[in-house]
Structures are given as structure tokens and as C-alpha cells.
């Protein structure tokens, strides 16, 4: 069915034929009869930009590929399994996923195709580190099993963070972690100064399994860059009186039509102020459910609508440790541009993996939610792009809606290597996305 698709940021739009598939055979058929504008797999559409859209072509809905088999800590799931359901299933067995993003409304294939990182990246790496094999239908229509070391490792690693452009993943096998409870032991520490916060986060690298900081990007009553560090561990014993798994609640929802002006600097400032006051209280070893710790925003359905018709973009970059000053520069530039960020998150990254398009590298990653309608944003972000790239950093494709081809080429030096594998896996050029076209991912490295 012709459907208008957008990303979670609601700032990019295109129309495609959305085709649900029931099994791998149907995927193979679609690939073999691919139309000129190609095919792309889509999960829950939680990437922020145009990564999961394919204007004028076919977009495969993988929701029906939803088998789950658990054997010890080895978990095999269909591509369309939603993380929220998987987590429920695993917690019942004392297991948990090795890495989770800030929302549970994502598919497992989506996690692999973007090589998602979590609050434990500095300790556990990203999704790709934990996958032991994937089944994928490549551009020739062949269903293949790929592994990180033995079965076509180059194809495996090109598909991890491959943004759906090497094939349609139909199933994923990964190693779950054992957890003693469905709860977390959380310590929060407020800092009035960005440097102190960053120093504390560096130190937490060694001690804490999960670590993240929320930053006040507006500084309505306090300094810009004050922040709250939160570190956590899985809580040891089952917590008395607590449910085994977080129960789904009726979720309040943001109405469809919100005028673009709703998110003024003042209201975003007020939100940041409130967050600072409410979550900024120092707490040590407070007990929280896994759901409320990892996926706090899942409690508000469609919160992305608050940005109105123009939508939002999330700007997420990483810079190496020796360029940590870029974090402060970015916050200042965006404040000067009156581009208030609703939610600003700072994390540490540990070593990356072998996937040529994987985003994480050792250092700092900052993610900001910005209103797309701000007229100063294009110039400000273009400036920031250069600063990030000059510092040896890069931007996250799963969040991107604004970069150009040059920024990817500079940020991902192994793009050429990835292109060669992609061309081999998809010789006829069956797989396309809007992101692929915008960033000229297929074109030769030097035009």
C-alpha cells in the first residue's frame, strides 16, 4: 500500500509501497522481482531521519517475522521481534539483552542494522559485539547465514551497521546476559560544571557498567552544561514486592497537531529546569525497574509530536578523547543559535568494532534533540559538522537527517571498503533508502 513514511524526527517524508512479509520465502520473491526504485527493510521506524524510508520503492514490513527461541543464553529471534516483547520474555528467564537503546520500541534487526549502542558501551560494546550469526537475503535473492568470524565475515560486518543496504535480515542470533533481577541499582550525581561532570564520567568508565549523563542545554537558572550523571548496575537480589517484568501501562499521548511554536526556548528551558530539579537530587543505589531506567520516554506515546509540523532532528556525534572540548563548543554554538535542545545526552564510548559503518569509537558522544524549523540550524549544524570532522569524529547515520555526502566520507574512512562488499552482496542494486540517496552511499568514494 502506498504509504507516507517518516522517521522518528518527522522531518523527512516520502511515499513508498509498504509490503508486509510473512516468511523468508516472500522476502526472496520481493528481492527477485524488485522494482527500479528498489527495496528496503523497515523495523519500527525509530531511526530519526530517512534511514528506513525508500521513496517510490518498496518498504518491507518485518513485523510478522517474530519467532523467539531461547537455548541457555543463546537467543534466536526473527528480524521483526520488538525489543519490549523480547525483554519481557528474557527477564522471565533471568536473562537480558546485552545492549539496549533509549527506547524499547525497536526491532532486533533494526538494532543490528544500525549497530546500536547503550549506556554500557564503554564496557560491553555495541550490538554487533554480541551477535553470533544473522540470516540475510542478499541482493541476488540468496538466503545466507553470516557470522562474525567464519561464514563470510566481511559480509557479516558490512551488514552490521549496514543500514539495510546489504540485504534483508530475517533472523538474528545473539548471546543474552544473565541478570539477577529485573531491577537496577542507580546512583545519580549532579554537577554544576561540565568539566567536573566529564571528569567524573571518565572515572566512572572503570567502575560502572552503565553510565550516562543528562545535560542542561539551556541553563535557564544555572550554568549551561550543568548535568546529572547516572551510573547503574543490575540489582543483585530480586527486589521485594516488585514485578518480574515492567507491566505495560496506558500511555499518555501527545496530540497529532501541535503548533510549531510550542517548543520555545523558554518552554524547553523550563523543561530542562524541571528535569534538573526532579532528577538532579543526588541518590545512591536507588532501586529502579529495568523499564524506567533504560526506557523512560516509552511512558509517553508519540512524544516526538511535540515538535509540531516541522519536526525535529537529533544531532548525535562522537569525538575522540583528545577532542573533548568539542562537547562544550557544540553546546555553546547551539545556545547562540537559539536552538534549545529538549533532551541532551552525553555518553562515553569504549573501543569500536569491525563494522566499517559502525558509529562508536573511543571518546565522547553527545546527542541533542533540536527543532527542525529553526532557521539558524542549517548553518549552525554545518559549522559543527566541520568542527566534529576536523577533530576526527563522525555522525550517527541512524539519527541523521541533515548531513551531506562529504561528511560521511570524512567521518567514515572505511566507506570505500563497505561499498565494495555492498556491491558484491547486491550486484544489481536492489537495496535503496532515502538516506542512501541523500548521502550518495553507493557512488564511488571520489567523485
Partner 1 sequence: MRSGLGGVDSVLLIGGSSEIGVAIIEAMAPRQRIVLAGRPSGELDAAAARLATLAPRVDTVDFDALDLDSHGRTLAGIFGDGDIDVVVIAAGVLGDQTVFETDPRAAIEMTRVTYTGAASAALHGAALLRRQGHGHLVILSSVAADRPRPANFVYGSAKSGLDALGRGLSQALTGTGVDVTVVRPGFVRTRMTRGLTEAPLSTDADVVAAITARAVRKRQRIAYAPAPLKYVMGVIKALPEPIFRRLPLS
Ligand X SMILES: Cc1cc2nc3c(=O)[nH]c(=O)nc-3n(C[C@H](O)[C@H](O)[C@H](O)COP(=O)(O)OP(=O)(O)OC[C@H]3O[C@@H](n4cnc5c(N)ncnc54)[C@H](O)[C@@H]3O)c2cc1C
Query: Smallest gap, in angstroms, from Cβ of residue 359 to ligand X?
Result: 7
294 or 307: CB nearest partner 1: 307
d(CA 396, CA 343): 17
Query: Smallest gap, in angstroms, from Cβ of residue 154 to ligand X?
Result: 17
Which does residue 21 touch among ligand X, partner 1, none (CB within 5 to 8 A, set by kind)?
none
- Given a contact cutoff of 8 angstroms between Cβ atoms, the answer to whether 14 and 434 are in contact is yes
190 or 311: CB nearest partner 1: 311
Which does residue 57 touch among partner 1, ligand X, none (CB within 5 to 8 A, set by kind)?
partner 1
Query: Smallest gap, in angstroms, from Cβ of residue 429 to partner 1?
Result: 13
The 3-state secondary structure of the chain reads CEEEEECCCCCCEEEEEEEECCCHHHHHHHHHCCCCCCEEEECCCCCCCCCCCCCCCEEEECCCCCCEEEECCEEEEECCCEHHHHHHHHHCCCEECCCCCCCCCCEHHHHHHCCCCCCCHHHHCCHHHHEEEEEEECCCCCEEEECCCCCCHHHHHHHCCCCCCCCEEEEEEEECEECCCCEEEEEEEEECCHHHHHHHHHHHHHHCCEEEEEECCCCCCCCCCCEEEEEEEECCCCCCCCCCCCCCCCCCECCCCCCHHHCCHHHHHHHHHHHHHHHCCCEEEEEEEHHHHHCHHHHCECHHHHHCCCCEEEEEEEECHHHCHHHHHHHHHHHHCCCCCCCEEEEEECCCCCCCCCCCCCEEEEEEEEECCCCCHHHHHHHHHHHHHHCCCEECCCCCCCCCHHHHHHHCCCHHHHHHHHHHHCCCCCECCHHHHHCCCCCCCCC
249 or 447: CB nearest partner 1: 447
Q: Does 402 bind partner 1 (CB under 8 A)?
A: yes
Which does residue 56 touch among ligand X, partner 1, none (CB within 5 to 8 A, set by kind)?
partner 1
Q: Identify which range of 184-192, 288-296, 359-367, 398-406 contacts partner 1 by CB under 8 A.
A: 398-406
- Looking at 137, 158, 438, 441, which residue binds partner 1 (CB under 8 A)? 438
Q: Does 377 bind partner 1 (CB under 8 A)?
A: yes
Q: Does 50 bind partner 1 (CB under 8 A)?
A: yes
Q: Does 341 bind partner 1 (CB under 8 A)?
A: no
- Looking at 12, 188, 272, 365, which residue binds partner 1 (CB under 8 A)? 12
- Given a contact cutoff of 8 angstroms between Cβ atoms, the answer to whether 311 and 6 are in contact is yes
> Which stretches of the chain bind ligand X, using CB under 6 A?
8, 40-47, 51-52, 62, 79, 101-103, 106-107, 109-111, 113-114, 116-118, 163-164, 168-169, 297, 398, 433
Q: Does 404 bind partner 1 (CB under 8 A)?
A: yes
Which does residue 404 touch among partner 1, ligand X, none (CB within 5 to 8 A, set by kind)?
partner 1
57 or 340: CB nearest ligand X: 57
CA-based nearest residue to 359, from 328, 325, 403, 296: 403
- Looking at 40, 134, 435, 441, which residue binds partner 1 (CB under 8 A)? 435
- Looking at 2, 240, 247, 249, which residue binds partner 1 (CB under 8 A)? 2
Which does residue 194 touch among ligand X, partner 1, none (CB within 5 to 8 A, set by kind)?
none
Q: Does 49 bind partner 1 (CB under 8 A)?
A: yes
Query: Smallest gap, in angstroms, from Cβ of residue 107 to partner 1?
Result: 22
- 271-294: burial string, b at 16+ Cβ within 10 Å, e else: bbbeebeeebeeeeeeebbbbebb
Query: Smallest gap, in angstroms, from Cβ of residue 236 to partner 1?
Result: 44
Provide the mask over 219-258, with x wherever binding to partner 1 is found by CB under 8 A and - wherever it is not. Answer: ----------------------------------------
Q: Identify which range of 2-10, 106-114, 172-180, 423-431 contacts partner 1 by CB under 8 A.
A: 2-10
Q: Does 369 bind partner 1 (CB under 8 A)?
A: no
Please give the residue ranges that form the binding site for partner 1 (CB under 8 A). Answer: 2, 4, 7, 9, 11-16, 37, 48-50, 54-57, 311, 313, 372, 377-378, 381, 401-405, 434-435, 437-438, 440, 447
Amino acid at each position: 500500500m502506498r504509504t507516507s513514511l517518516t522517521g522518528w524526527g518527522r522531518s523527512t517524508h516520502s511515499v513508498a509501497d509498504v509490503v508486509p512479509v510473512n516468511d523468508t520465502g516472500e522476502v526472496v520473491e520481493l528481492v527477485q522481482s524488485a522494482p527500479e526504485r528498489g527495496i528496503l527493510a523497515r523495523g519500527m521506524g525509530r531511526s530519526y531521519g530517512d534511514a528506513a524510508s525508500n521513496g517510490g520503492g518498496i518498504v518491507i514490513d518485518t513485523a510478522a517475522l517474530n519467532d523467539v527461541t531461547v537455548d541457555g543464553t543463546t537467543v534466536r529471534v526473527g528480524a521483526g521481534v520488538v525489543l519490549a516483547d523480547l525483554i519481557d520474555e528474557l527477564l522471565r528467564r533471568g536473562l537480558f539483552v546485552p545492549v539496549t537503546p533509549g527506547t524499547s520500541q525497536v526491532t532486533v534487526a533494526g538494532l543490528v542494522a544500525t549497530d546500536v549502542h547503550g549506556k554500557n558501551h564503554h564496557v560491553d560494546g555495541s550490538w554487533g559485539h554480541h551477535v553470533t550469526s544473522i540470516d540475510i537475503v542478499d541482493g541476488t535473492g540468496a538466503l545466507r547465514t553470516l557470522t562474525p568470524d567464519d561464514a563470510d565475515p566481511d559480509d557479516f560486518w558490512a551488514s552490521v551497521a549496514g543500514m539495510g543496504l546489504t540485504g534483508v535480515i530475517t533472523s538474528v542470533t545473539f548471546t543474552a546476559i544473565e541478570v539477577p533481577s529485573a531491577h537496577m541499582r542507580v546512583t545519580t550525581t549532579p554537577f554544576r560544571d561540565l568539566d567536573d561532570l566529564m571528569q567524573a564520567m571518565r572515572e566512572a568508565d572503570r567502575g560502572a557498567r552503565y553510565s550516562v549523563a543528562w545535560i542542561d542545554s539551556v541553563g535557564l537558572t544555572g550554568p549551561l552544561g550543568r548535568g546529572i550523571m547516572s551510573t547503574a548496575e543490575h540489582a543483585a537480589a530480586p527486589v521485594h514486592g516488585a514485578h518480574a517484568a515492567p507491566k505495560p501501562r496506558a500511555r499518555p499521548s501527545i496530540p497529532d497537531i501541535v503548533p510549531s511554536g510550542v517548543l520555545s526556548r523558554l518552554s524547553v528551558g523550563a523543561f530542562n529546569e524541571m528535569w534538573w530539579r526532579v532528577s538532579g537530587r543526588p541518590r545512591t543505589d536507588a532501586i529502579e525497574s529495568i523499564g524506567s531506567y533504560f526506557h523512560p520516554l516509552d511512558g509517553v506515546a508519540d512524544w516526538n509530536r511535540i515538535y509540531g509540523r516541522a519536526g525535529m532532528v537529533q544531532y548525535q556525534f562522537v569525538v575522540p578523547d583528545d577532542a573533548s572540548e568539542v562537547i562544550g563548543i557544540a553546546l555553546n554554538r547551539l545556545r547562540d543559535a537559539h536552538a534549545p535542545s529538549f533532551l541532551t545526552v552525553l555518553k562515553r564510548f569504549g573501543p569500536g568494532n569491525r563494522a566499517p559503518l559502525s558509529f562508536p569509537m573511543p571518546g565522547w558522544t553527545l546527542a541533542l534533540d533540536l527543532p527542525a524549523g529553526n532557521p539558524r540550524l542549517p548553518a549552525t549544524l554545518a559549522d559543527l559538522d566541520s568542527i566534529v570532522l576536523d577533530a576526527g569524529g563522525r555522525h550517527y547515520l541512524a539519527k541523521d537527517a541533515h548531513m551531506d555526502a562529504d561528511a560521511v566520507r570524512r567521518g567514515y574512512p572505511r566507506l570505500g571498503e563497505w561499498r565494495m562488499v555492498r556491491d558484491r552482496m547486491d550486484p544489481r542494486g536492489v537495496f535503496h533508502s532515502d538516506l542512501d540517496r541523500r548521502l550518495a552511499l553507493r557512488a564511488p568514494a571520489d567523485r
